[in-house]
């Protein structure tokens, strides 16, 4: 049953760090049985199976195509977490399924207000990672981020979401004055960048700052980011690198 198959796949993601490739021997059987029963999968099960594949880098194209096809048939039933996880999974695996990503964007735009910061970050990063510039989607993501930042304080999840959203928003031409102002207002909370941001967050934000001229548009935030980058010895090479769209590869190079 789908429930059992998804649970086994999830267990593989949890056991792999300890058991290595031995536990990965389960995945071909999980994939085979999932393909045979894909019509029984609910939206959350489809997205969770895709997530498990991406988490352990299981690039089973037959299974992933079945997941994409089933998702397209039932996209109207997908909600925030399902959409975010599905987009993230295909982007993480480097699979640019244009029909799937178009459908995710179309479904997501009207319901972005229901997305948590992590879901917004997943969606924004996924389209950026795959080189898909959906202006309408990114405008909606930015509007949702602005709303969620209003009145929020010292929320690490929001900080990391802004670090994921802003490079994608700048790339898509969706980072207007109001968006950068909301981002700056939130990130300039005393101590937030210093204590809550990791090196990748700072590099991603510095990339946005450089491409969108925050030195002129948001000078206070720009100075804070430069100061933090210097403190951590993050060089310009780190934020101009094309590896920045792929966090694991970026971390392996610039950690």
Q: How far is CA 20 from the centre of its chain?
A: 25
Angle at 125 between CA 121 and CA 129, to 5 degrees: 170
pTM metric for this prediction: 0.94
> Residue 97: what pLDDT?
98
Rounded Cα distance, 115 and 39, in Å: 27
Q: What SS3 state is found at 155?
A: coil
Give the pLDDT confidence of 23-45 residue by residue, as tens digits: 888 999 999 999 999 999 999 99
Q: Can you tell me the mean pLDDT for 110-136?
A: 97
Give the pLDDT confidence of 36-81 residue by residue, as tens digits: 999 999 999 999 999 999 999 999 999 999 999 999 999 999 999 9
Residue ranges of alpha helices (H) inside 25-134 are 27-36, 43-55, 61-73, 80-92, 98-108, 117-130
Share of the chain above pLDDT 90, in %: 93
């Amino acid at each position: 049953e789908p429930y059992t198959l998804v649970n086994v796949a999830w267990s593989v993601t949890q056991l792999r760090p300890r058991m290595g490739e031995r536990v990965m021997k389960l995945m071909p059987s999980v994939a085979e049985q999932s393909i045979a029963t894909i019509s029984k999968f609910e939206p959350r099960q489809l997205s969770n199976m895709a997530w498990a594949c991406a988490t352990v880098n299981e690039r089973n194209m037959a299974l992933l195509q079945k997941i994409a096809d089933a998702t397209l048939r039932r996209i109207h039933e997908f909600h925030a977490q399902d959409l975010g996880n599905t987009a993230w999974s295909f982007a993480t695996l480097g699979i640019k399924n244009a029909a799937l990503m178009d459908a995710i964007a179309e479904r997501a735009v009207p319901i972005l207000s229901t997305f948590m910061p992590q879901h917004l970050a997943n969606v924004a990063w996924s389209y950026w990672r795959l080189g898909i510039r959906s202006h309408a989607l990114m405008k909606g993501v930015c509007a949702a981020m602005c709303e969620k930042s209003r009145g929020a304080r010292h929320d690490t999840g929001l900080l990391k979401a802004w670090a994921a959203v802003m490079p994608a928003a700048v790339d898509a031409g969706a980072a207007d004055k109001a968006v950068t102002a909301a981002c700056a207002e939130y990130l300039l909370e005393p101590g937030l960048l210093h204590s809550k941001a990791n090196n990748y967050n700072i590099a991603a934000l510095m990339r946005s700052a450089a491409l969108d001229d925050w030195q002129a548009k948001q000078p206070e935030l720009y100075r804070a980011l430069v100061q933090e980058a210097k403190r951590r010895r993050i060089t310009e090479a780190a934020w101009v690198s094309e590896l920045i769209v792929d966090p694991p590869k970026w971390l392996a190079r610039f950690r």
